[in-house]
Amino acid sequence: MPRRDRLTDYRVPATGGLRRRLLRRLRRMRHAVDVETLEVFEHELAAFERAGVAELERQRTRNVAAASARVAEAQARQELIRRALQRAEDDIRRADQDVERLDAKLAGHDPDFHSYA
């Protein structure tokens, strides 16, 4: 599949900021770490994780919509081509009739025109 036909890539949320923030806070309260602090940390981690998962869900939803739009577009084009093919067949039939008529005229027996000469 060519590059331009693919959907947009997923952008995974970066965790560098979160890690830096948590480690800095940990360094500041280096002697006061207890279970409550760990709970706060854990809350922050879980919140970040939920936000990231929601972000990925959003991208997934967007991509699903884009994919269904592509499917609809491709099917519309297919339908258009089918109609164009039918029309082309009709045109070919008519052109063949014209060719036959003109060839008959050239051969000398013209159904449209009767020579009185």
Positions that interact with another protein (CB under 8 A): 1, 5-7, 9-10, 12-15, 18-19, 22-23, 26, 30, 33, 35, 38-39, 41-42, 45-46, 48-49, 52-53, 56, 59-60, 63-64, 67-68, 70-71, 73-75, 77-78, 80-82, 84-85, 88-89, 91-92, 94-96, 98-99, 101-103, 105-106, 108, 110, 113, 115, 117
Query: Look-up: residue for tokens 């972000």?
Result: 55
Left (φ > 0), alpha (ψ -120 to 50) or beta: where does 76 sit?
alpha
- As measured in angstroms, the least distance from the Cβ of 35 to another protein is 7
- As measured in angstroms, the least distance from the Cβ of 73 to another protein is 8
- As measured in angstroms, the least distance from the Cβ of 3 to another protein is 13
Tell me how far apart the alpha carbons of residues 102 and 49 are, in angstroms, rounded to a whole number. 78
Query: Look-up: residue for tokens 């005229």?
Result: 105
**Under 8 Å between Cβ of 22 and 41:** yes
Q: Which is nearer to another protein, 3 or 30 (CB)?
A: 30
Supply 56's token pair.
């990925």
